[in-house]
């Protein structure tokens, strides 16, 4: 377990009280397509205890079925209903605000499928009620220009998540927050964020697990999204230093988790 001069973290023995985990994926379970050491042992812990969980990611690029397939390639079996993405929560929000709305999308399969499954119409750019932006690895100037024009024309600006970087095998790459910053600079309009650290995704996970917030914890690698969001939802929090946050950033941050571990391998070994 990682020590800090600033904060006294909880003892691993107190992990006994945790009945449910809301688990981030990028930077926690893997980097890019490389599984983190201890991945199998960590899921054995979850299944054998047992500990209820939801894999809740801010990354809206994949569908739940695609995440299931990715984990299967790493030797881990999960069900689609055990996965919750910011794309699903965003689609649920927009459909609740305006059923059948026209949506101009910057994003990939996970976001497009979620919006269609919630009865929303995909706009070709001529007109839209909403501009919804998720991570898009095929992002172009033309997409940014169309989104800018629509937002300036009055479309509501929605961001699936605010993560400015994305952990990969090569290091931290640009995330969706970087795209949102571009569009905000071009339009003067700040996006409404749906994913972490906002409560919607945490509340959905707690409801699905049927675990009260006081007996649940969030497990993530980002202080400003995973840890802050879990704390806002009344949950305890576990930070791993395998992704977007390093020990120096942790020491200098006003956001402090309940537990800190180097990785899920270290966490699984310490769980009582």
Q: Which helix (H) or strand (E) holds 83?
A: strand 83-85
The length of the chain, given as a count of residues: 272
24 is catalytic: yes
First to last CA, the chain: 13
Residue 146 burial (CB count, 10 A)? 19
Instruction: Judge contact between 199 and 233, C-beta under 8 A.
Output: yes
DSSP H helices in 1-152:
39-48, 64-73, 86-97, 109-117, 141-152
Please pick, among 26, 129, 163, 258, the residue that the annotation labels catalytic.
26
Please pick, among 24, 136, 163, 258, the residue that the annotation labels catalytic.
24
Task: State phi, psi for 191 to the nearest 5 degrees.
Answer: -75, 155
Q: Which helix (H) or strand (E) holds 195?
A: none
* Packing angle of the helix pair 200-209, 86-97 (nearest 10 deg): 110
**What is the CB-side half-sphere exposure of residue 221 using CA atoms within 13 A?**
26
**What is the CB-side half-sphere exposure of residue 45 using CA atoms within 13 A?**
20
Enumerate residues 6+ apart whose C-beta is below 8 A from 124.
none
Residue 200 burial (CB count, 10 A)? 18
DSSP H helices in 98-214:
109-117, 141-152, 176-187, 200-209
| Distance in angstroms (rounded) separating the CA atoms of residues 269 and 272 | 8
Positions marked active-site:
24, 26
């Amino acid at each position: 377990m990682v020590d800090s001069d600033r904060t006294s973290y909880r003892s691993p023995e107190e992990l006994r009280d945790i009945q449910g985990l809301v688990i981030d994926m990028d930077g926690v379970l893997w980097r890019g397509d490389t599984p983190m050491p201890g991945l199998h042992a960590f899921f054995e812990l979850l299944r054998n205890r047992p500990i209820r969980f939801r894999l809740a990611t801010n990354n809206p690029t994949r569908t739940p079925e695609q995440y299931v397939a990715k984990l299967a390639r790493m030797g881990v079996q999960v069900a689609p209903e055990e996965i919750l993405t910011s794309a699903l929560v965003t689609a649920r929000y927009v459909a609740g605000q305006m059923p059948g709305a026209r949506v101009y999308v910057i994003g990939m399969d996970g976001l497009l499928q979620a919006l269609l499954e919630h009865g929303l119409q995909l706009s070709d750019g001529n007109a839209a009620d909403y501009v919804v932006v998720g991570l898009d690895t095929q992002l172009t100037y033309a997409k940014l220009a169309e989104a800018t024009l629509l937002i300036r024309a009055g479309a509501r600006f929605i961001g699936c998540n605010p993560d400015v970087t994305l952990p990969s095998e090569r290091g931290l790459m640009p995330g969706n927050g970087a795209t949102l910053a571009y569009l905000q600079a071009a339009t003067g309009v700040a996006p409404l964020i749906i994913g972490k650290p906002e409560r919607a995704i945490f509340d959905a996970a707690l409801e699905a697990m049927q675990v009260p917030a006081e007996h649940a914890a969030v497990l993530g690698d980002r202080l400003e999204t995973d840890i802050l969001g879990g704390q806002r939802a009344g949950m305890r929090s576990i930070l791993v230093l395998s992704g977007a946050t390093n020990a120096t950033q942790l020491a200098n941050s006003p956001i402090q988790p309940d537990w800190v571990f180097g990785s899920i391998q270290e966490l699984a070994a310490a769980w009582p």
